[in-house]
Amino acid sequence: MRMANEDIADAFDEIANLLEIDNANPFRVRAYRNAARTVRGLGKDLKVLLQEGRELTTLPGIGRDLAAKIVEMLDSGHMAALDELHKKLPASLEDLLRIPGLGPKRVQALYHKLGINGVPQLQRAARAGHLDELPGFGPKLRRQILDAVAARRDVEVRWLRAQAAVYADELVAHLQAMPGVKEVAVAGSYRRGKETVGDLDILVTAGKPGPVMQGFVAYPDVKQVVSSGSTRASVILDNGLQVDVRVVQQQSLGAAMHYFTGSKSHNIQIRRLGQKRGLKINEYGVFKGERRVAGKTEKQVFRAVGLPWIPPELREGDMEIDTARRGALPRLIERDELKGDLHLHTSATDGRASLEEMVEEAQRRGLRYVAVTDHSRRLTVAHGLDAKRLARQIDKIDRINQATRGITVLKGIEVDILEDGTLDLPESVLARLDIVVGAVHSHFKLPPKKQTERILRAMDHRSFSMLAHPSGRLIGAREAYRVDMERIVRHAAERGCFLELNGQPQRLDLSDVYCRMAREQGVLISVNSDAHSTAGFDNLEHGVVQARRGWLTREDVLNTRAVNTVKRLLRRTMA
C-alpha cells in the first residue's frame, strides 16, 4: 500500500486523539499533533525526500522516534504504535470524534466517566439526560449531539477535493504511462471544482481497452475491485475512495467528458435544448437520427445546441445556460493572474516557516507581493503577537523590503474580532500596518443578530481592511456560524473594505454562492492561501477553483492588481 503524506499525518493525528482519550502525557500528545502539521505542510512526498537522502529528523518537530514511525508506515502501511492503541481502546471511539462538538477531551470524559464508547451508546445517554452529569456538557450540547447523530444517518462519505486531488493525480499518471493510452481526464464533481467529492470518474482513450482495465485493477492501492468489464471498472482504494475508470472512443471523448462531468441538472437542460433541434445527446455523441454529428470535443457538443463552451465550474444547472445563450459568460479568473497573497503566517505565531523562508517561497512561485498576517495576541493557542512583538516584526519587514528585489512584503495582522466587535490590538498599533485582516476565532454560537452586529462593528473600525474566512466554516468539522451574510456583503460595499476567499481546503470560505453575491454588490474579494508553511501556497490553486465556481473574473479579485494599486486601495479602507 502506497502511503501519501496525508495518510501519515492522519495516523499521527489519530494517535494524538487516542492518547488524549487515554489520559497520556500532554507533551506526548502535542508531539504527534505537531508532527501531523509538519507532514501536511511538506511540499514534497516523504518517500521522495528519503530517496533524495534527506534525514527526516531535520524536519521541524520530527525526532528519531517519529522519523522511525514514518519509515515504518512508508514501508509497511502500518504504524505499530497506532495498532497498539487500537487494541487498547475501542475502535468505535473514533466515530465519537467525528461528532461536531466532541473533541478528544469530551470523548475522554464520555469514555472514562460514563463508559460510552460508540455512537449508539452516546445517543441513548443523551436522550436519557446522562450527559448533563459531566462538566462541560449541558442541555444545549446534548441537543447539538442528538442533531448531529441524526444528521449522520445515510450520509454519503465525501472527500475534500484537495485530498482527492493527490490520488487523482497519481492515478492519471499511472494510466497515462500505459502503452496505447492517448488521453486521460478526470470528470465528475471533481472537474466541476466541488468542495468535496464522493468518488473519482476518470475517462481514458486508448487503442485497446483490455490492457487499460487490467492495469487499472492491478493498481497497487486497490483494495477491492467492485466491478470490472471490457471498457469500465470500479474499485475501492485502500483509503476508501471509490474510483471509476471508463475507456471511451476518441470520437466520443467530448460527449463523454460533458456527460460524466455533469451536473445532472445541467445535462438535462442541454439534452432538452438538443431535443428542440431534433438531436439526441448522450455519452457517445450528438446524433441526428442514427448519424453522429458531434461529440469528439466538448465545444462540438455545446455548438450543436447553439451555445459557447461553458467552463465546468459553472455547470450546476443554475443560470449558466441562459447566460451563455446571451453571450454573457464571464472570463473566469486563472491562477497565473494572481499577483500576490494577502494572508499568510510565519513561525512568529503558528506557522512552520520563518518570515524569510515564506517570502523566498512566494517569490519562487512568481508572486510579486505578500502580506504577512500573523495572529494577534488573543489567539494564545497560536502564540499570537502583542504590540511589542508586532512592532519588532514590522521593523524586520522593513529591513527585508530594503534588501529584497522583485517582491514587496506588506505589514499586516490577522486580528481577532472580539465578542463585542472590538479588535484585539489598539489603533496606535494597527495604524502602522498596510493591511488589517479581521477574523472571528471564538464565540461561534452567538445568536445570528448578535454575530452579525459583532462583525459589522469590527468592519467599521477605521483600520479594518478585510474580513477573513467570513462564514467561519470548516468543511466536515464545523458549520458556518449563523450570520446575515447578505448584510455583511452589503456593508462591505458601503464601507469599501474587502472579503477574503480563504483557499485552505477545509475552509474554501467564501462559498461560491457568497462569491456571486459579493460580485453583484461590487465587493472585491482577495483569494488568499492562509499559508502556514511554504507548501501552504498551494492553497491559492484551491482558492482559484472556488473563485471560478463563484463566477469571479480577474476584475472581481483584489490581488490580481499590481502592488501599488493594492496599497492604494488598502489605504482607502483605512481612511
Query: Which pLDDT score is estimated for 540?
Result: 98
Helix (H, G, I), strand (E, B) or coil at 509: strand
Q: State the virtual CA torsion across 213, 217, 220, 223 in degrees, nearest 10.
A: 160
**Strands 435-439 and 408-416: what pairing?**
parallel
Residues in contact with 450: Cβ distance below 8 Å, sequence separation at least 6, in sequence order: none
Pick the last residue of a domain from 247, 268, 286.
247
Same domain membership, residue 511 and residue 380: yes
Same domain membership, residue 363 and residue 225: no
Query: Which pLDDT score is estimated for 176?
Result: 95
Cite the beta strand spans of 283-439 per DSSP E: 285-288, 291-294, 340-344, 369-372, 408-416, 435-439
For residue 292, what is its C-alpha cell?
453522429
Same domain membership, residue 514 and residue 424: yes
- CATH of residue 96's domain is 1.10.150.110
For residue 268, what is its C-alpha cell?
438535462
CA angle 565, 568, 569 (to 5 degrees): 85
Residue that is written with C-alpha cell 498551494 in the block: 538
For residue 96, what is its C-alpha cell?
465519537
Note whether residue 330 is domain-resident.
Answer: no
Note whether residue 485 is domain-resident.
Answer: yes
Q: How does the average pLDDT of the chain come out, rounded?
A: 90
Same domain membership, residue 276 and residue 216: no
Pick the last residue of a domain from 216, 247, 278.
247
Same domain membership, residue 111 and residue 75: yes
Q: Under a CB-based contact definition with an 8 Å cutoff, are residues 544 and 335 in contact?
A: yes
Domain around 275 = 252-325
Q: Under a CB-based contact definition with an 8 Å cutoff, are residues 57 and 46 in contact?
A: no
Same domain membership, residue 264 and residue 129: no
Which residues in the chain show pLDDT less than 70? 1-3, 91, 150-157, 381-382, 575
Same domain membership, residue 133 and residue 53: yes
Same domain membership, residue 280 and residue 179: no
Total count of domains within the chain: 4
Q: Which of 6, 2, 1, 3 is nearest to 535 (CA)?
A: 6
Helix (H, G, I), strand (E, B) or coil at 474: strand
Note whether residue 165 is domain-resident.
Answer: yes
Query: Which pLDDT score is estimated for 155?
Result: 46
Write out pLDDT tens, residues 49-64: 888 888 888 888 899 9
Instruction: Please tell me the distance from the alpha carbon of residue 195 to that of residue 477, in angstroms, as a whole number.
Output: 14
- CATH of residue 270's domain is 3.30.210.10
Instruction: Please tell me the distance from the alpha carbon of residue 313 to that of residue 506, in angstroms, as a whole number.
Output: 19
- CATH of residue 227's domain is 3.30.460.10
Same domain membership, residue 551 and residue 416: yes
Instruction: Please tell me the distance from the alpha carbon of residue 154 to that of residue 359, in angstroms, as a whole number.
Output: 46
Query: Which pLDDT score is estimated for 151?
Result: 62
Query: Which pLDDT score is estimated for 500?
Result: 98
Query: Which pLDDT score is estimated for 381?
Result: 65
Note whether residue 384 is domain-resident.
Answer: yes
Same domain membership, residue 272 and residue 398: no
Same domain membership, residue 114 and residue 20: yes
- Whether the model clears a pTM of 0.85, i.e. scores above it, the answer is no
Same domain membership, residue 356 and residue 475: yes
Pick the last residue of a domain from 126, 152, 178.
152
Query: Angle between the 119-128 and 104-114 helix axes, to the nearest 10 degrees?
Result: 70
Note whether residue 423 is domain-resident.
Answer: yes
